[in-house]
Amino acid sequence: MSEPLKLAILISGNGSNLQSIIDAIETGGLNAQIKTVVSSNNMAYGLIRATRHGLSTWVIDHHDYQNRDQYDGALQHYLESVGIDYVVLAGFMRILGPAIIKAFEHRILNIHPSLLPAYKGLNTHQRVLHDKATHHGVSIHLVTAKLDDGPIICQARYPIEAGDRVEDLQAKGHRLEHQMYPQVLRWLSDGKLGVEEGRLFYEKALLERPIAFNP
């Protein structure tokens, strides 16, 4: 078996996606090692999840830094010192600046609760309901300097049903996210998914459109 994929998982809150990755590793379904869990918030429940599973954690609070450059610089320095293959954003509520994105170019993944490029940014569930959209979804993409804009690896799509509220969409999205993030990381760890100069390859073929995730 090849070397485990070395990950840093960045969170700000509940950490249910973190949990799904931990579970996939612990049950032997993902050949990866979580080298660190970084939180922008010292009250994040995800930190408790990490500690319960014996993982190293680090909190980086923006109140302790004068500006975004200093914050990103400290985060970059820390991640470089840990030594990782991929940075996995899992509900991390800080926007990363261009320097740290460049330092980990094409090695930062994000999960976003919409069918990108639709509904970038925050409050996606409220916005799709307001627009009376018929479908919604989840995307996993590579992070580039433009918000929620990098190459999309994988998407899951689900219907919005009459009477669905924000919490319903959140629950539907999360159910998919918890299978999708471990799956994408599995593709990376077993070499099925590759990134070359920002272009995505799946089983050696250029990925021309996002992989449709069907659980």
- Positions that interact with ligand GRF (CB under 6 A): 11, 13-17, 90-91, 111-113, 173, 177
State the nearest-atom distance from the C-beta of 66 to ligand GRF, in Å.
27
E strand intervals along 54-203 = 57-59, 86-89, 108-112, 135-142, 152-159, 193-196, 199-202
The residue (of 35 and 178) whose beta carbon lies closer to ligand GRF is: 178
Q: Which residue has the tokens 């996210």?
A: 177
Q: How far is the CB of 33 from ligand GRF (least distance, A)?
A: 19
* Interacting residues of 174 by C-beta distance below 8 A, sequence separation 6+: 16
Q: Is the peptide bond before 215 cis (omega within 30 degrees of 0)?
A: no
Q: Which is closer to ligand GRF, CB of 94 or CB of 194? A: 94
Residue nearest to ligand GRF (CB): 91
**Residue 112 is among the residues annotated as catalytic for this protein:** yes
Query: Of 106 and 172, which CB lies nearer to ligand GRF in the complex structure?
Result: 172
- Work out how close the CB of 73 gets to ligand GRF at its nearest, in angstroms, rounded to a whole number: 24
**Cβ contact 34:21 at 8 Å:** yes
Closest CB 204 distance from ligand GRF, rounded Å = 29
Nearest of 87, 130, 126, 133 to residue 110 by alpha carbon? 87
Q: Chain-centre distance of CA 109, in angstroms?
A: 5
Find the catalytic residue in 53, 62, 106, 112: 112
Q: Which is nearer to ligand GRF, 83 or 121 (CB)?
A: 121
> Catalytic site residues?
112
